[in-house]
Amino acid sequence: MAKTKTPQGHPVQNHSQQALQRQPLQNQQLDRFQKSMRLKAASDQLRNNELWEWRDAYLVQFLAALEVVSFLLVVQVGLFTQGLFILVPVLLLVALGKCLHNANVDYQTLLRNPIYLMFPKKYSALGLYDNQKPVWGFYGLTILVRLSCAVAVVASWADQTGHFKCAGSHTVLSYGSDSCSEVPGFLQKACSQQFFEPSAYQRCLESRPWSKENYCNWQAAICFPTDGTFFSVCSKVALMLLSLAPSLCFTLFLVISLFLMFLFQSGLQKSCGLQLKAGMLGSKPEAKDLRRKVGNQETVLKQQFEANSGKLDDKSLVPFSMMFPLSLLLVFFDVGSDVNLLVTFLSGQHYGFAAAQLAILCVSVKLQVDEAGDLQSLWTEVSRSWGAKVETDKLLKILKSERLFEAPASFLLAFYSCFFTNAETWAMLSCCVSILTSVYTMATAVFKDIHLGVDLED
């Protein structure tokens, strides 16, 4: 059949031919958003579907936040015993956790994503991974590790050998500045301001074994003037909350999880008006029905993407034009708070903490540069995401590097260092801000990067 030609002699293409030419370009665009489409489909399905799934989603996020805070017990062991003892639970999680994951996880993956020491890879509490199996062993290990850390903390704290009191608002300490020369550098400022008596600190060190010496440092570190000023009250409240938060969150996490498991196993959840089906403590197998619904929603999104020339109809409760800049802003704020913490450590002469924070930031930047390639590539991914109203897969991987490495590492360091910077107002505030932003970042990352059933590394 002869082709119809234009007056200039060029063949005229019909609509079907034009559509066939556009198809490779659309497929190429869609390939950049495969995992993002799956994540958005899961999120939309949980938000728009039955009430139990909506409840489950928020329950999983709440329990993830409790778990994140409870893992501070691993660091708190070092505060009451010796800093080196932090390596014991960490190495145990690395050695045994590698074997108990739901998927094959090598040591390089664990080092690049330390969040997987706390939460199993390829396990969703909502059952959104293909052929997902329960991970009783992994959760049993993490609970045993945290419980052992809690027992060690309580045992060291209960041992009152060498205990000394801080200077009260009506206490006048009589010692010269030369007496502070014997205390460690991070306590020099607190000692010179007469927050505690150096001789009492020395007696504490002499009366306790090496394995429990850090209790004396912790005891001196929580000393601050109780003169009723705003900073004094805030410091006292913040330090007490930080001391109690890991154990309280761990206890609350266990109580809620065990209670819901009891209701579910006994069949009492229906009589109580509960329809919660999230997998508690690693008990969730694959939820085939929910995965099918998510798959259907993903198909709808892809069809919408192709019909709109590489864009999604933004009908979310919070528009993408607001949510996307906000998510990037929170990432920059989290990184900025960690950089500010580094500067604060240096200005306060806490050089050990500063070196650790610098190492964390450098490794995090290296991981993100490896994913992005260069700044131009990063800007390209941001532009593509803005135009399509959904993040590209590459941008998700770049942000994942920050959420799953830098946030957990800075979180643990900020908690440990917070007890040794209370004499400096800005340092104390910086630690608290860094801890709060890291908790939010990590809880969001656990839900989005783990529990929604999409492995960005596949």
DSSP calls for 380-446? HHHHHHHHHTS--HHHHHHHHHIIIIIHHHHHHHHHHHHTT-TTSHHHHHHHHHHHHHHHHHHHHHH
Q: Which residues pair with 5 in a beta bridge?
A: 11
List the pLDDT tens digit at each of the 458 positions of the chain.
444 454 555 454 444 444 444 444 455 677 788 888 888 888 888 776 554 556 777 888 888 899 999 999 999 888 888 888 888 898 888 888 777 776 667 788 888 888 888 888 888 888 888 888 888 888 888 899 999 999 988 888 888 787 777 765 444 455 555 577 778 777 777 777 777 888 888 888 888 888 888 888 888 877 765 555 666 667 667 777 888 889 899 999 988 888 877 776 665 555 544 445 556 678 788 888 888 888 888 888 888 888 877 777 766 655 665 667 777 777 778 778 888 888 888 887 788 888 998 999 888 888 887 877 777 787 888 888 887 777 888 888 888 777 778 888 888 888 888 877 766 667 777 788 888 888 888 888 888 888 888 887 76
Residue 204 sits at φ, ψ, to 5 deg, of -65, -45
CA atoms within 13 A on the CB side of 307: 8
Q: Count the neighbouring beta carbons within 10 Å of the beta carbon of residue 18.
A: 10
Question: How far is residue 269 from each of residues 55, 257, 263, measured CA to CA in Å?
Answer: 14, 13, 5
Q: What integer pLDDT is reported at residue 148 of this predicted model?
A: 92
In the numeric block, the tokens 């994140």 are attached to 68
d(Cα 444, Cα 450) in Å, to the nearest integer?
10
- Furthest-apart CA atoms within the chain: distance in Å: 108
d(Cα 197, Cα 162) in Å, to the nearest integer?
13
Q: What is this structure's pTM?
A: 0.81
d(Cα 394, Cα 378) in Å, to the nearest integer?
9
In the numeric block, the tokens 């306590």 are attached to 187
Q: Are 443 and 68 in contact (CB under 8 A)?
A: yes
Query: What DSSP character marks residue 165?
Result: P
Q: What integer pLDDT is reported at residue 21 of this predicted model?
A: 44
d(Cα 3, Cα 213) in Å, to the nearest integer?
90
In which region does residue 382 sit, left (phi positive, over 0), alpha (psi from -120 to 50) or beta (all else)?
alpha
Question: How far is residue 257 from each of residues 188, 194, 265, measured CA to CA in Å?
Answer: 44, 46, 12
